[in-house]
Amino acid sequence: MPEQTNASNRPAGQNESAQPFLTDVKTLRDRARRHIEEGPVTPSYHANREVVLKLLNASLATELVCVLRYKRHYFMAEGLLAETASAEFKEHAEQEQEHADRIAERIVQLGGEPEFSPVGMLDRSHSEYKPGTSLVDMIQEDLIAERIAVDSYREIIQYLGDKDSTTRRMFEEILAVEEEHADDMASLLKAIPAASRQ
């Protein structure tokens, strides 16, 4: 038997004062036509776009600095465990580049411009560029940089909350990879005999 509805098209017995979950279709259509040049940024976007773009550009700089550091370490690694470490450095450099690309794409989606200029990149970056003089130094610097990324991305995720769920999800996915990177570097460091770490 079909469900009975009252005059307002609500199922019989439903609270008359309940508000619909979704905005009515006419309002959605009207809102979509306004400010169409803003692309995916609609009136329901609740984050401060300027702040989000600043956070994204700082994160882009962080990822690019990490790419450069890992690339150097890939080419410069030598000594005990160099082959294993080099493979990790190369893989991490490629993944950090993927992160940078995703972040740059999100900046453009939000109507901003990704900052690829090397001028001021280290100032925008959360992590530092430390070349390292030995394999141990390289691994330690990469581990420190990953730990910085983990903390800063967690804070960004908390800041975004429900205000920008797309950017938050992107950072959550990137964070998971950064945690893996930190774990990889910690494992490499443990594999080097203590005497060689001095």
User: Tell me: the pLDDT tens digits for 126-142?
Assistant: 999 999 889 999 999 99
Domain boundaries, the chain: 48-197
State whether the Cα torsion 83-87-88-93 is positive or negative.
positive
SS3 45: coil
Q: Does residue 2 sit in helix, strand or coil?
A: coil
- Mean pLDDT of the 32-42 span: 63
**For residues 16 and 155, what is the distance between their CA atoms, to the nearest angstrom?**
41
Query: Radius of gyration (Cα) for the chain, nearest Å?
Result: 24
d(CA 97, CA 101): 6
Q: Which CATH superfamily is domain 48-197 in?
A: Ferritin, core subunit, four-helix bundle (1.20.1260.10)
Residues 6 or more apart from 152 whose CB is under 8 A from it?
A: 59, 62, 126
The pLDDT value given to residue 102: 98
Would the pLDDT of 177 be above 60? Answer: yes
Residue 142 burial (C-beta neighbours within 10 Å; 0-12, 13-18, 19+): buried
| pLDDT greater than 80 at residue 17 | no
